[in-house]
Structure 1
């Protein structure tokens, strides 16, 4: 039996930890949708941050940020609420909002980037503060995940480092920090892919294989 079925984070809140009483719901587990969406968008932007094939401008990721990382994750978060999974709902909705806001920054029609033209490093400083705020959110989610599973601790741990490095890169102007942040982001994306696949396989009655998340035993 997977961590999901045992009542960890991605059981979708099907049972209460305090009472063990099942919560009736006809909503399928949206965790894989949220995780795959998060992983794919993070994977693309992280490759841009390490400048694979000389790519420096992140504009192509805007579409992914708005619809995959943003809208799909937001919907996954909303579906987690009626399942009683407060952690999953908070995480998916938060990062869905992150990707929607990130994509909005780079949409020409918003005028956000244009407002900083001719103002030196002000844009990078503003983005650095923006990224640091998400570092704080991620650390708080990391704390909440410490009794979930090794996979989730790794996910939020690497994501925290990713935001920290990217924010520091913007504030200091050091490209090496941004590159390092991209490298950690790639690792984060693959961890999210792994957890998403684990959840997807656990939902199948006759899955070809099961992927362990390294769940912790609770007294």
Structure 2
């Protein structure tokens, strides 16, 4: 009877999946900019905002979160999936009452909704201190400020503060877009074209 011999082999699998961060920040950036323009009074919240929230803010960020999770990023997977689902929930807050399925939220319930998202964002902000990216840290600082401003706006129904929140939202959105596009450019050129 022939003896069997075990052969030890090491298999190294190279990760060839793309960085999901630009997709996630594109979803956040474009959605935040367009929603913030409505806060400033450029146009009302309409189907463009709801569609952007669902299809770019929602799907893009959830897809990016799943991709980040597959790459082993707890922060990216958690943040992008959670904020993608935030956009879906925001769209539902507009669509469900419009469809007559449930009563519209009260200003105080929206304030609570935005406040708890602000608390969640603050904890993620603490995590960004270890990521080493000033751009991502800046996004989370301004996003935390935005959630808190919007919570106060809804609790007090202060229209003037809503305009200020709109400008903060534009800062969040453009910072997210800068970060997304900087990562794409840096990858395309193989060097730092735009710092993140």
Would you say same fold, with TM above 0.5?
Answer: yes
- Please point out which of 44, 49, 54 is paired with 1:56: 44
Contact 1:135 1:163 survives alignment (8 Å): yes
Contact 2:23 2:60 survives alignment (8 Å): yes
Describe how 1:184-203 pairs up with structure 2 within 5 A.
Answer: 184-203=168-187
| Residues 1:128 and 2:116 are matched in the alignment | no
TM-aligned CA deviation for residue 35 of structure 1: 0.7
Deviation >6 Å, runs of 4+: none
| Residues 1:145 and 2:128 are matched in the alignment | yes
* Cα deviations by residue, 1:43-98 (Å, 9 ceiling, x for unpaired): 0000001112xx23354300011110001110110010111111111111111010
| Residues 1:41 and 2:14 are matched in the alignment | no
- Please point out which of 171, 179, 185 is paired with 2:163: 179
More helix by share: 2
Gaps in structure 2 of 5+ consecutive residues: 1-11
- Please point out which of 74, 78, 83 is paired with 1:86: 74
Q: Secondary structure at the match of 1:203?
A: helix
Cα distance, 1:173–1:23 mapped onto 2, change above 3 Å = farther
Which of the two has higher C-alpha Rg? 2
TM-aligned CA deviation for residue 26 of structure 1: 2.7
| Residues 1:166 and 2:154 are matched in the alignment | no
1-structure distance, mates of 2:163, 2:101 = 27
* Cα deviations by residue, 1:94-126 (Å, 9 ceiling, x for unpaired): 1101001101111133634xx14xxxxx61111
TM-aligned CA deviation for residue 23 of structure 1: 7.6
1-structure distance, mates of 2:121, 2:176 = 14
Contact 1:128 1:166 survives alignment (8 Å): yes
Aligned positions, number = 182
Alignment-derived partner of residue 16 in structure 2: 26
Alignment-derived partner of residue 19 in structure 1: none
Q: RMSD across aligned C-alpha pairs, in angstroms?
A: 1.9
Normalised TM-score (structure 1): 0.77
Normalised TM-score (structure 2): 0.86
